[in-house]
Structure 1
Amino acid sequence: MNNIKFRVLIIGLISFFLFQCEGTSFNDQIIGDVTSKMATGICDSIPRGSTITNVLVGEIVDIGLQGMTDVSIEFDYETNGNKKHHSSALLYIKKGSSYKLAAIGGCEFEMK
């Protein structure tokens, strides 16, 4: 009986890791970048520690210069009980099959 439980556990862990290793979509990457970077104090208009919600990815436009892609975004953020709406643009550079965030409109962000 313990052998069966052990096998089920191992199969479950392997399945979990395989699922996690699958690539995320570009849309998911954009949402992740917005939620993880916008509330870090890099934008004067968005205080550090704000809560980012309702991220909406707008137009994704390949601008054709060295793999650059422009993305319009909108989201809400809350700080000290005050909710505000924010719109901006992100610039990504395509490297191979992945995208790297290069710039955030109106914010001080350096690509690493």
Structure 2
Amino acid sequence: MTGNGYFVTWAFGHLIGLECQKITGFRGLTKAALPILPNPFLLTVRKVKKDKGYTADTGALKQLKVIEQLFKQSCSIIVATDAGREGELIFRYIYEYLKCNKPFERLWISSLTEKSH
């Protein structure tokens, strides 16, 4: 959606997540083995089960292309994901995955009712 010099789009859930990596040298969960941290952390498009494996979610890929185009056309970004850690993480993963470096500001509201404005 566009209007008054702004573009508006959305992320429907977690479009990007952490890549599940095989951890080498892991011999069982022991206190001495903690923390188990992949190096580096890798981001990947949301996966869906297909046949006996997993493949990138075509809906997520399509929406990421929309977001990427809007990032490219914009001077800055207003992040209006859900208030809280999960909404922030959804944006940060997309921002990082698309290698965006545009400045952004956070719109932090927890209600969209007329009364709350």
> TM-score, normalising length from structure 1?
0.23
> TM-score, normalising length from structure 2?
0.23
Higher Rg: 1
Q: Which has the higher contact order (CA 8 A, sep 6+)?
A: 2
